[in-house]
Amino acid sequence: MKNNCGTKALLLALLTVFLCLPYGAEAYFFSPSDLAVSVLPNENTISPGDTAAFSISITNLSTETIMWGENLWYPSTSVGGYIDGIIYNRSPYVDGTGFLLNVSEWPDLVQNQSFTFDYYYIDTKDSIPDGSKVHVAPVWLGFENMPAQYPDDKIGYDFEIRTAAGAETIVSSPVPEPSAIILLATGLFGIAAARRRIWR
Domain locations in the chain as residue ranges: 32-178
pLDDT at position 77: 84
| Cβ 117 vs Cβ 101: under 8 Å | yes
The alpha carbon dihedral of 28, 32, 33, 36 has a sign of positive
What's the pLDDT tens digit per position in 150-162?
Answer: 777 666 789 999 9
Per-residue pLDDT at 30 exceeds 70: yes
The percentage of the chain sitting over the pLDDT mark of 70, rounded to a whole number, equals 70
pLDDT at position 150: 76
CA–CA separation, 146 and 143 (whole Å): 10
What's the pLDDT tens digit per position in 49-108?
Answer: 999 999 999 999 999 999 999 999 999 888 888 999 999 888 999 987 666 666 788 999
CB-based burial of residue 21 (10 Å sphere; 0-12 exposed, 13-18 middle, 19+ buried)? exposed
| Cβ 35 vs Cβ 114: under 8 Å | no
Does the domain made of 32-178 have the CATH classification 2.60.40? yes
The percentage of the chain sitting over the pLDDT mark of 90, rounded to a whole number, equals 50
CB-based burial of residue 124 (10 Å sphere; 0-12 exposed, 13-18 middle, 19+ buried)? buried
pLDDT at position 186: 61
Check: pTM over 0.85? Answer yes or no: no
Supply the mean pLDDT for the chain.
81
pLDDT at position 181: 52
Single out the residue of 140, 186, 180 nearest to residue 160, CA to CA.
140
pLDDT at position 10: 57
Q: What angle do CA 91, 38, 98 make, to 5 degrees?
A: 35
